Amino acid sequence: MTPEHSLTPKSSCADYTIEQAWETYTNEEHDIWRQLYERQMALLPGRAVDEFLHGVEVLGMSPDQIPDFRDLNKRLAGLTGWQVVAVPDLVPDDVFFEHLANKRFPAGRFIRRRSQLDYLEEPDIFHDVFGHVPLLADPVFSAYMEAYGKGGLRALGRNVLNKLARLYWYTVEFGLIETDAGLRIYGAGILSSKSESVFCLEDVSPNRIRFDLQRLLQTHYRIDDFQEVYFVIDSFQQLFEETYQDFGPIYDRLEGLPEHKPFDIVEGDNVITRGTGAYAAARLKESA
C-alpha cells in the first residue's frame, strides 16, 4: 500500500535545501498537481500576463506530473541561469534572500492535500513552481528577483525587513500589470489561486492603484484573505528600473511618513479603479 503522500525530509544543510526526490511522489500527489494545474490553466489565458504563459510553455510544465527540478533546471539554466532548489517549507529570511541573490528559487517540495485545494498557509510546490517559476524564465523579471534578494540582504542589516516585504508582497506575490489588452496578473499568489485570479481583475471591491514605490512601502497588507488593493506596473522593465536603487534614502524618508491601511486611498495616488470595499466589509461582518 503506497503512502498517500511522500514524506518531505526535514533534514537540510545550512541553506535549508533538500533533495526533491522526484521519484518518491505518489500518484495521488501527481493527481493533485493535475487538478490544480488544469483548474488554473482553464482560467489564466486572458487573465495572466503573456510572459507567464510563455514561461509555463518553455519550461515544459504540464498537468501530467509534478515538474522534476532536474528537467526544469536544465531549461532555466539556458534561459536566465536561475535554478529551483527544494526546501522543506518556509526558510529564514536571510537564507531566502541569499538564495534569490544567487539566482536560486527555494520551492517547497511538498504538495497540498486535496482538503487544502483552495487555501493553505505555507507555499507548497504548486504555489512556488506553478506560481513563481514561469516568470523566472523572463530575463527582466528574473533580474528583478535577483536584485530583490540582494536588497533583502542589505535590508536585514538595517532591520527594515517589514517594509521591504511589502514590495515582495505587492509585486512578486500580488502584482498586476497594464498591457495593451488590459490589466493582467503576474503575482504568484494570484496565479496559483483559483478564486483570486478572478477577484483581482473583475471584482468591484478592491482598489487598483498605479505602482509607486514609496507609497507601496508605506502600505500594510493582509495575509489571510483577498487583497484590498492591487498595485499595477506598466512593465517589468519599469519595476526593475524603479527598484534598482539604493533604498537607504527611502528607508530614511519612511521613518517620518505615515503608514497606510490596505484600503486607504491617499493624496497623490494614481487610482485606476476605486473599489467599493464591499468584499472586505462583508468578511468583517461575517467574522464579527
Q: Are 167 and 187 in contact (CB under 8 A)?
A: no
Count of positions on this chain that bind Fe ion (CB under 5 A): 2
Catalytic position from the list 98, 127, 146, 205:
127
Which among 16-24, 178-186, 187-195, 264-272 is the span making contact with Fe ion, rule CB under 5 A?
187-195
12 is catalytic: no
192 is catalytic: yes
Q: In which residue are the cell numbers 489588452 written? A: 181
By rule CB under 6 A, what string of x and - marks binding of each residue 103-142 to ligand HBI?
---x----------------x-------------------
By rule CB under 6 A, what string of x and - marks binding of each residue 47-86 to ligand HBI?
----------------------------------------
Q: Are 262 and 220 in contact (CB under 8 A)?
A: yes
The nearest distance, CB 93 to ligand HBI, in angstroms, is 4
Q: Are 206 and 230 in contact (CB under 8 A)?
A: yes
DSSP for 91-147 reads --HHHHHHHHHTTEEEEE-----GGGSS--SS--HIIIIIIIGGGGGSHHHHHHHHH
Cα–Cα distance for residue pair 191/198, rounded to 1 Å: 10
Catalytic position from the list 6, 132, 178, 228:
132
Residue of 141, 195, 151, 197 whose CA lies nearest to 174: 197
- Residue 165 touches which of ligand HBI, Fe ion, none (CB < 5 to 8 A by kind)? ligand HBI
Residues 155-184 that bind ligand HBI (CB under 6 A): 165, 168
The nearest distance, CB 241 to ligand HBI, in angstroms, is 21
Cα–Cα distance for residue pair 277/185, rounded to 1 Å: 20
Count of positions on this chain that bind ligand HBI (CB under 6 A): 9
Q: Count CB-CB contacts under 10 A for residue 162.
A: 10
Residue of 193, 189, 191, 187 whose CA lies nearest to 236: 187
- Residue 86 touches which of ligand HBI, Fe ion, none (CB < 5 to 8 A by kind)? none
Cα–Cα distance for residue pair 126/133, rounded to 1 Å: 10
Nearer to Fe ion, 130 or 263 (CB): 130
The nearest distance, CB 90 to ligand HBI, in angstroms, is 4
Which among 71-79, 101-109, 123-131, 174-182 is the span making contact with Fe ion, rule CB under 5 A?
123-131
* Interacting residue with ligand HBI among 31, 93, 203, 264 (CB under 6 A): 93
231 binds ligand HBI (CB under 6 A): no
Ordered alpha helix ranges (H), the chain: 27-43, 50-58, 69-79, 93-101, 125, 139-158, 161-167, 188-191, 194-202, 213-217, 236-243, 248-255, 278-287
Binding-site ranges for ligand HBI (CB under 6 A): 87, 90-91, 93, 96, 106, 123, 165, 168
Residue positions annotated with a catalytic role = 127, 132, 173, 192
Binding-site ranges for Fe ion (CB under 5 A): 123, 188
